[in-house]
């Protein structure tokens, strides 16, 4: 057994790389030729000798080293590897700010944000800073109870932001999923089950007419619109092409090949993640003959500029989303049909009325879908089939507009 005096006077002979002074039960003091002294405890794992560094002498005294050795023996008796336990403790101690919810959330955000669009990243950070950090940000994430998080979410509900509360819950769940692999085994994602305690949110639904006869009335109203040619053309193209409003508003002449009857939307303008925008394929939209005629008719008016549908105040910017929305209300259809709802109208009637291939429809909608074998449906495949499909849809709309060959759909029970 060592004494304090022996530890103080211990030196390493100049002809050795190190000297060990044994205390007992695997504890020893190692001295280097330069005079540094460190405590180690000898371990054995799977028949192999190892050692656990306990600390430096004299910062760690002989009695402190013995207590550290005894504590390590208890850890080993519990079936855990003291060396691995010490490594984990060091990693936890090295975390800046500790494992507070805010520290973990910001670390998660920093890793995810580069993959998101700028708007999504901004919205997510705003939700963290406004709806979570003030209430649970400073709390150690391992100690946060589900009721604390629920209280924070209910504060969001109290201001009437039901959808936001649901989104914040999802964000919190992703933070917990990120943290769990480094947590103790008994930890769980406390967001599980909280959805049932919040006001039900059913998601946004865009008003859309799917009854053929009524849709024909809408088409006739669009043809009779007395507003400007730019908005009138956009109104008539919306049901023909059924693309996202933002893409249609921002349609550029450079994206169109009217001779080939094709509109190619760059990947950067599509509703995708940041990485998908950068590396994804462009979205090809076949143009029926009716759409080509509409675009040629407006070309003398706006063809000299960038946008097919430029704004009235500035031709360097496209028309606003409100332009078409206001026109639909002016025509008396604003409560029944939204601009985005043309997608649902087309999707429903192309299947129910024309019995067209749903996969090709989804491809034209720029939805990521899979076929029966689980393969992702390539939006650029079967372009010839999609040309044929969208022409059938345009011809069908002509019939609806003229009021011919239309059989009213039976009213479905609520």
pLDDT in tens, the chain (414 residues): 899 999 999 999 988 999 999 998 999 999 999 999 999 999 887 778 888 899 999 999 999 999 999 999 988 888 888 878 777 777 666 555 458 999 999 999 999 988 887 888 899 999 999 999 999 999 999 999 999 999 999 999 998 888 899 999 999 999 999 998 877 656 789 999 999 999 886 666 688 999 999 999 999 999 999 989 999 999 999 999 999 999 999 999 999 999 999 999 998 887 766 666 666 788 899 999 999 999 999 999 999 999 999 988 778 899 988 888 899 999 999 899 999 999 999 999 999 999 988 888 888 888 755 554 444 444 445 688 889 999 999 999 999 999 865 444 444 443
Report pLDDT for 376.
45
CATH number at residue 179: 1.10.150.130
Structure tokens at 277: 């925008």
Are 14 and 149 in the same domain? Answer: no
Report pLDDT for 252.
95
Is residue 408 a part of any domain in this protein? no
Are 242 and 302 in the same domain? Answer: yes
Are 246 and 296 in the same domain? Answer: yes
CATH number at residue 328: 1.10.443.10
Are 285 and 346 in the same domain? Answer: yes
Q: Give the chain's radius of gyration (CA, Å).
A: 34
Are 343 and 268 in the same domain? Answer: yes
**CA separation (Å) from 106 to 138, 144, 171, 255?**
12, 17, 12, 39
Is residue 207 a part of any domain in this protein? no
Are 189 and 79 in the same domain? Answer: no
Are 243 and 392 in the same domain? Answer: yes
Give yes or no for a contact between 177 and 140, defined as CB atoms under 8 angstroms apart: no
Is residue 412 a part of any domain in this protein? no
Are 317 and 388 in the same domain? Answer: yes
Are 344 and 247 in the same domain? Answer: yes
Is residue 13 a part of any domain in this protein? yes
CATH number at residue 73: 3.30.160.390
Strand order in the sheet with 256-257: 256-257, 262-265, 283-286
Structure tokens at 347: 């999707």
Is residue 413 a part of any domain in this protein? no
Give the DSSP letter string of 188-210: --TTTTGGGGSPP----------
Beta-carbon contacts of 64 under 8 Å, excluding residues fewer than 6 positions away, are 55
Last residue within a domain, chosen from 164, 197, 230: 197
Is residue 411 a part of any domain in this protein? no
Are 224 and 337 in the same domain? Answer: yes
Is residue 410 a part of any domain in this protein? no
Report pLDDT for 375.
43
- Give the C-alpha separation, 38 to 90, whole Å: 17
Strands 256-257 and 37-45, how do they pair?
unpaired
| Phi, then psi, of 271 in degrees rounded to 5 | -80, 90
**48: domain range?**
4-93
Is residue 135 a part of any domain in this protein? yes
Last residue within a domain, chosen from 141, 163, 197: 197
Structure tokens at 263: 């509109």
Number of domains present in the structure of the chain:
3
Give the E-state strand segments of 34-164 in sequence order.
Answer: 37-45, 48-57
- Give the C-alpha separation, 353 to 210, whole Å: 10
- Give the C-alpha separation, 25 to 52, whole Å: 13
């Amino acid at each position: 057994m060592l004494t304090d005096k022996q530890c103080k006077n211990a030196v390493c002979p100049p002809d050795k790389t190190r000297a060990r002074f044994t205390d007992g039960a695997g504890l020893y003091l190692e001295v280097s030729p330069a005079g540094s002294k460190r405590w180690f405890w000898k371990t054995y794992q799977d028949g192999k000798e190892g050692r656990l560094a306990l600390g430096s002498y004299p910062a760690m005294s002989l009695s402190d080293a013995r207590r550290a050795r005894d504590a390590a023996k208890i850890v080993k008796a519990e079936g855990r590897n003291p060396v691995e336990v010490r490594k984990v403790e060091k990693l936890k101690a090295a975390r800046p700010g500790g494992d507070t919810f805010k520290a973990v959330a910001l670390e998660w955000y920093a890793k995810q944000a580069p993959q998101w669009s700028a708007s999504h990243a901004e919205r997510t950070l705003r939700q963290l800073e406004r709806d979570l950090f003030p209430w649970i940000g400073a709390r150690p994430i391992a100690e946060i109870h589900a009721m604390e998080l629920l209280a924070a979410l209910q504060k969001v509900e109290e201001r009437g932001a039901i959808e936001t509360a649901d989104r914040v819950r999802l964000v919190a769940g992703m933070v917990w999923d990120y943290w769990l692999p480094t947590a103790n085994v008994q930890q769980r994602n406390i967001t599980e089950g909280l959805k049932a305690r919040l006001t039900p949110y059913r998601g946004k639904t865009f008003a859309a007419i799917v009854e053929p006869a009524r849709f024909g009335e809408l088409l006739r109203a669009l043809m009779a619109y007395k507003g400007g040619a730019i908005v009138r053309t956009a109104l008539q193209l919306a049901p023909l092409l059924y693309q996202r409003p933002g893409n249609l508003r921002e349609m550029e002449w450079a994206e169109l090949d009217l001779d080939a009857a094709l509109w190619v939307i760059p990947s950067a303008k599509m509703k995708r993640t940041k990485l998908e925008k950068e590396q994804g394929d462009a979205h090809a939209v076949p143009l029926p003959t009716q759409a080509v005629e509409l675009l040629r008719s407006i070309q003398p008016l706006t063809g000299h500029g960038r946008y097919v549908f430029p704004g009235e105040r500035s031709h360097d910017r496209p028309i606003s989303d409100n332009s078409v929305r206001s026109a639909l209300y002016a025509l008396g259809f604003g409560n029944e049909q939204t601009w985005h709802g043309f997608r649902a109208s087309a999707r429903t009637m192309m299947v129910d009325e024309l019995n067209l291939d749903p996969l090709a429809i989804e491809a034209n909608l720029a939805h990521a879908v899979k076929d029966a074998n689980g393969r992702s449906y390539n939006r650029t495949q079967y372009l010839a089939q999609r040309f044929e499909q969208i022409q059938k849809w345009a011809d069908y709309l002509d019939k609806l507009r003229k009021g011919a060959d239309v059989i009213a759909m039976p009213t479905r029970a609520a």
